[in-house]
Every structure is written in structure tokens, then in C-alpha cells.
Amino acid sequence: MKVLFVCLGNICRSPLAEGIMKHKLKMLGLDSKVMVDSCGTSNYHIGDLPDSRTRQNAKRNGVSLDHRGRQLSMDDLNHFDFILAMDRSNHDNILGLRNDKAVRDKIMLMRKFDTEEGEEVPDPYYGGEDDFQEVFNILNRSIDGFIIHLQSKGLI
């Protein structure tokens, strides 16, 4: 099973989602069953470490991040089984690259799996510490929901 998290810059939301997912899979002994990666729709931060505020927030929450920024490629649309977009704009930009049934079947909004109300994982880039923690909380719940989904479908 291969899972790709996608945001705009690939330095705040999606690398944190990748780190949380890897951490949870490891705790569950399921890390060998799922390949997890992240990327951005933009080319703004190729090769960059996650934002220092994201790294700090992840560390405070017991999650380590080692991802380097990269841009979404057309190959990714074939390679991955699940493509989880952080917001509607990321979602629509991906479909703008290729909009066929194969892609529509594997792309979804991350918060489809959240247990609390809300459609998007908000971009924290221009926010403060509380905004980064809110992103962590949303991703933490949503990824729990996503792992339960994979288990309930017998995919892991």
C-alpha cells in the first residue's frame, strides 16, 4: 500500500502528516505494510526541510520529521494508491493535472477521515503556534481515521 500526502509547499501540513502516519504505523507494527510519502503542488520549497515551526511542533508532540520538500509529479498519480490532499485547492490542482477515473478514485481530502466537522486542513504558514497545533490535532485525528479505514477494508 502506498500513500501520498499533498499540500501546497510541502513544508508544513503534508510532511507533518507523513511523520504522524509513519509514527502511528510503527507503533502498530504496520510500518512494513505501508509506504508513506508527501509532496507539494508548488515548486516553492524543493529540497527544503519542513518549516522550523512545524519541526518544533512535531517534536513537542513526539513525532520526528526527516522529509525534504519535493513537487508532485505525473508519475506520483500512477505510483500511489491513496493521494490525500490537505485542502480543496490542492485537491483541484491535482485533478487539473489529470482528471480521469483512476485518479478520481484515489484522490480524497484528508479530512474525509476526521471524526470532527470540517473540510480542509488549514494552511498554518501565516499563522501562530496555535495554528500549528490545530493542524497537528486535525491530522492526528484524521490519520487515526484513515488507518482504521485501511484496516476495515483489509488493505493493511
Catalytic-residue membership of 70: no
Residue 123 annotated in active site = yes
- Whether residue 142 contacts residue 113, with contact meaning beta carbons closer than 8 Å, is answered with yes
Q: How many angstroms separate the Cα of 135 from the Cα of each of 20, 28, 60, 144, 156?
A: 12, 23, 13, 14, 26
CA distance 22 to 155: 16
The span of 4-12, 94-102, 109-117, 146-154 binding ligand 4NP (CB under 6 A) equals 4-12
Closest CA to 84 of 2, 152, 154: 2
Instruction: Determine whether 39 is an active site residue.
Output: no
Instruction: State yes or no: residue 8 binds ligand 4NP (CB under 6 A).
Output: yes
| Only segment of 6-14, 20-28, 93-101, 104-112 that touches ligand 4NP (CB under 6 A) | 6-14
Candidate residues 28, 44, 64, 98; the one interacting with ligand 4NP per rule CB under 6 A: 44
Q: Which residues are catalytic?
A: 7, 13, 123
